[in-house]
Structure 1
Amino acid sequence: MLEPAPLVAGVPWTGWAVVVLVALLVGFSKTALGGLGMVAAALTALVIPAKDSTGAVLLLLITGDLVAIWAYRKHADLRVIGRLLVPVLCGVALGAVFLVHVSDDVMRRTIGAILLALLVLNVWRDRLRTDTRVATVGYGGLAGFTTMVANAGGPPMSLYLLGSRFEKWRFLGTTAWFFCTVNLIKLPVAVGVGIVRLDTVALWAVLAPVVLLGTWVGRRVIGHVDQRLFERLVTVMVAVGALNLLLL
């Protein structure tokens, strides 16, 4: 009889409740509000080792990405993706080096610090210029680094696109194609540094249907959500999750 995958077997029932919620949030974030990806990263790292959580969430994100690029395939601005790709790849490379050389505790606290820093940046997003080469390199590099170490590249990308005055559908289409590309590039790197393994794939196989449910829900509510209230709720959840990661 085959032994259960260690990562799957090691998650308690309370942890399963959290990771199922995470999978739902990941799917919803991909077709509705991307800020929930930060919540998913924080919650997952609370119930399974931080590095393992990064690999597990990456597989869930790719599942949601594939649905999102199909849903918003006509709205992507590929020129923006092209401008950001090189600095993002540099950020991913730096993130991979960071993953290899830090402990799990440092990883956990780094995720929390990144989330809090991004929340602070979000306060001034209307004043931040994104129409310069320096801004493109800065936002792209930060998105690459944070998406590699914490699967939290959405906020820097969101700040960049909001500063560029993207309307909703163009925003959703561009982020969908951008993160599908970036996450697929990250996948072999994640395998190479050991955060995606067979037990990570086993956990993904259990949770993938929940991600698909989340994408279905997201597509149906995106046009009916009070954006301002929802963003405030997401901000509170991210702040609580980040503080927990820093203080544990």
Structure 2
Amino acid sequence: MGIERALLFLSLALLAEVAGTVGGFGSSVFFVPIANFFFDFESVLGITALFHLASNLSKLGLFRAGIDRRLLVRLGVPSVLFAILGGLAGTLVETAWLERLLAVFLIGLSGWLLWRPAATFAPTTSNAVVAGALSGGMAGLVGTGGAVRGLALAAFDLPKEVFVATSAAIDMGIDLSRAVVYWRNGYIHADDLAWIPLLAVVALAGTWLGRRVLRRVPQASFRRIALLLVFAIGWVTLLGVALG
């Protein structure tokens, strides 16, 4: 990859990290479609997992006080388990129809919550387990499940610091597990590892910038921003599958 193309990739990755921090649910939902323009599908999965590890370490360092430990267990444990299962099944399952289903789900539920801003879901154990299983499974299968988890956390109407910190802590478990699975599947290539130090710097810088933006966002506006981003991600995902 030439220098100009590499700088473009890193710049877009920085924007993805800022947007993922402000949206509250991580950068992979933005990073994956960006990386698809520069790398093959297997490399995208491997690089995303490693980039996200650096991203979530940055978020945990900056937002650690906001972690909801009860929700972390109820949503995080199924997320990690299903991320492992999804990663193992990634070589066996045709993921295009799953991406279509995911896109329709994201568009439908986020659109309904935007239309009914007063509507919320209680963060019960059953709701958290279902959301965790869906987000972890999609993360393992198609490389990104953050939008599902973000949609769930937005529906729970959590304070923005709790939203970001808890999502990052859950993501950390998912990324550790799927990085091992992707390594086992041969998705993490030796020549891709050279990007990791650069992407680690991008992750830290993007999280810091995103945190500064987030401080200026009122709580009332934060949920709407998260839902609008999920709604947009759903349409972009659907369009990407249609054009692919």
The verdict on a shared fold, with TM-score over 0.5 as the criterion, is: yes
* Percent of aligned pairs with the same amino acid: 24
Contact kept? 2:67, 2:162, Cα under 8 Å: yes
- Give CA deviations for 1:127-170 in whole Å, capped at 9, x if unaligned: 56354444233211111111223332222222222232311111
Contact kept? 2:110, 2:230, Cα under 8 Å: no
CA distance in 2, matches of 1:111, 1:69: 29
1:185 paired with 2:177, answer yes
Q: Flag the 1:161–1:182 CA change in 2: closer, same or farther, 3 A.
A: same
Which one of 191, 195, 198 corresponds to residue 190 of structure 2? 198
Partner of 1:123: 111
Instruction: Tell me the number of residue pairs that the alignment of Structure 1 and Structure 2 aligns.
Output: 235
Partner of 2:144: 152
Matches within 5 A, 1:12-91: 16=6, 19-29=9-19, 31-34=21-24, 36-91=27-82
Q: State the shift of 1:191 in Å.
A: 0.9
Q: Which amino acid aligns with 1:124?
A: W
Contact kept? 1:52, 1:195, Cα under 8 Å: yes
CA distance in 1, matches of 2:32, 2:123: 29
Matches within 5 A, 1:101-112: 101-102=92-93, 106-107=94-95, 110-111=98-99
Q: Which amino acid aligns with 1:114?
A: L
CA distance in 1, matches of 2:233, 2:3: 22
Contact kept? 2:24, 2:226, Cα under 8 Å: no
RMSD in angstroms over aligned alpha carbons?
2.9
Which one of 236, 239, 242 corresponds to residue 243 of structure 1? 239
Q: Secondary structure at the match of 1:100?
A: coil
Q: TM-score, normalised by structure 1?
A: 0.79
- Give CA deviations for 1:58-110 in whole Å, capped at 9, x if unaligned: 111111111100101111011111112332233113311322225xxx55675
Contact kept? 1:64, 1:215, Cα under 8 Å: yes
1:211 paired with 2:207, answer no
Q: State the shift of 1:116 in Å.
A: 4.7
Structure 2 unmatched ranges of 5 or more: none
CA distance in 2, matches of 1:73, 1:58: 21
Runs of 4+ that moved beyond 6 A: none
CA distance in 2, matches of 1:110, 1:49: 19
Q: TM-score, normalised by structure 2?
A: 0.80
Q: State the shift of 1:217 in Å.
A: 1.3
CA distance in 2, matches of 1:245, 1:164: 29
CA distance in 2, matches of 1:243, 1:148: 21
CA distance in 1, matches of 2:174, 2:186: 18
CA distance in 2, matches of 1:95, 1:233: 24
CA distance in 2, matches of 1:132, 1:244: 34
CA distance in 2, matches of 1:187, 1:161: 24
Partner of 1:8: none
